[in-house]
Structure 1
Amino acid sequence: MFKSVTLYTNKLKSLKRFYMNLLEWDLVEADNDRFTVKVGSSQLSFVESERPYFYHFAINIPGNQFSMMKYWLKDRVTLNREEGRDEVYFQSFDADSMYFEDPAGNIVELIGRRKRDLFGDLTKESFIDISEVGVATPYVTEVGELLQDNGIPLRNGTEVNPDELNFLGKDDKFVVLVPLHRRWYFSKKQSEVAPLEFTVNEKTFKIDVEGKIETIEEN
């Protein structure tokens, strides 16, 4: 679903070192004010900004490699905890998750899908693709309606709840749409507006600094 995701940061160099050197993701391209890394079949870009921003996004990994990935990851980052736990099982998604923060404070989730296996050692292919992108906005209803009108369905029903967390997408890839000031799970941070872009089904969706959305057709 997510062909590419673009986020903004005032810690560009630190993030580049983190994702290339610590997580060992392949660099696709780089310039003075941006870089892009490969996350399985998706691409993740960071663009330099004057203001600090943080985001929540998730990466799909094979369910049978969850424990191996956790062991590998704990040598590189500190896992976030919630009520004393550093992982959680989501029955409705049949998936296990662990969370950590990068140098810019982005809340990164690795989701082990129990119905997706990859046998053998951990490799770069163990990062399957971008699974979730969090969108925090005061315009939850408007954003949710535009996404649905452009072929991204609400997981349960057709009317987004402007006061709660909403999943829009299908299979194991979702836009996580939330109102402002909602605490992100496995963190102490509350959701706030941050500009971002993501490309799905040859359409690019842009969220501006006010939390409003627009679409741009890909050529």
Structure 2
Amino acid sequence: MKITDVTLHTRDLSAQRAFYGDVLGFPVASSSEEAVTFQTGWTRLTLRQDADLSGVYHFAFNVPENRFAQARAWLEERVALLADEAGEMTFHSDDWDADLAYFQDANGNIVEFIARHSLPTPAGTGFSVDDVSGVSELGLPVPGVSGAVLDLRERFELPLYGETSETFAPLGNEEGLLIVVPVGRGWFPTGTPAQSLPFHLRARTKSGVLELKEEP
């Protein structure tokens, strides 16, 4: 699954415009007083002004699996990495065969760089913003995980990915995942409670186009 378009809301559009455009250097595809869209790899990431927004999103970007150290160093030059309770700031998932690092954007969203070793190794040696290949995860907090997973699998034929439970169920594949969790579950590594927030997502799947929308 490839996530081609994601629209999220933000309390301070000006701060987010500066963070993603100036600090991280994502190319701006379009911009207005109400929203800004960045092109990052195969994904158009749109941030829309919403002064009443309360809560944070979790989403992730894929980065080259053979250049995770460079990607982390690139991040550390620009943002503070998030640590877990033990003070660790770099993580490895055996289940997903991936290396991970987390940071917060200007809205406090829990954002992740993930290097998945099961994906093909791209050419190159260093790391720049051009090596971010797209949004690869979006957290989807729901009242009931099992019911939401059943609905999504029936409607969009999405496979389960890796180990799942009643509190954590990824759907999709290495290129794109919906991370289905119950409302209130803490997002790693900060423990910030997951909340149901407005979003709009479009993705290409084997069965066609997936479109999900949560209204404000």
TM-score under structure 2 length normalisation: 0.89
2:121 maps to what in 1?
A: 117
Partner of 1:59: 61
Taking only the aligned residue pairs, the percentage that are identical comes to 26
Deviation at 1:156, TM superposition (A): 5.4
Q: Distance in 2 between matches of 1:147 and 1:200?
A: 13
1:45 maps to a residue whose letter is T
Would you say how many aligned residue pairs link Structure 1 and Structure 2?
206
Higher RCO (CA-CA < 8 Å; seq separation 6+): 2
Aligned partner of 1:107 among 105, 110, 116: 110
Matches within 5 A, 1:117-136: 117-118=121-122, 119-136=124-141
1:147 paired with 2:152, answer yes
Retained in 2: the 8 A contact 1:6–1:47? yes
Which structure 2 residues correspond to residues 72-91 of structure 1 after superposition, within 5 A?
72-82=74-84, 83-91=86-94
Normalized against structure 1, the TM-score is what? 0.88
Secondary structure at 2:48's aligned position in 1?
Answer: strand
Deviations 1:77-134 (A, max 9, x none): 1100012100100011111000000110100000012244332322333101111100
Q: For 1:30 and 1:71, locate their aligned partners in 2 and report how far apart those are by CA, in whole Å.
A: 29
Ranges in structure 1 where 5+ consecutive residues have no aligned partner: 210-219
Query: Deviating runs (4+, > 6 A) in structure 1?
Result: none
Q: CA RMSD in A?
A: 1.7
Gaps of at least 5 residues in structure 2 are none
Q: Matches of 2:17 and 2:144 in 1, distance apart?
A: 32
Provide Cα deviations, 1:7-60, integer angstroms capped at 9, x if missing partner: 011111100100001110000111111111011111111111122331000000
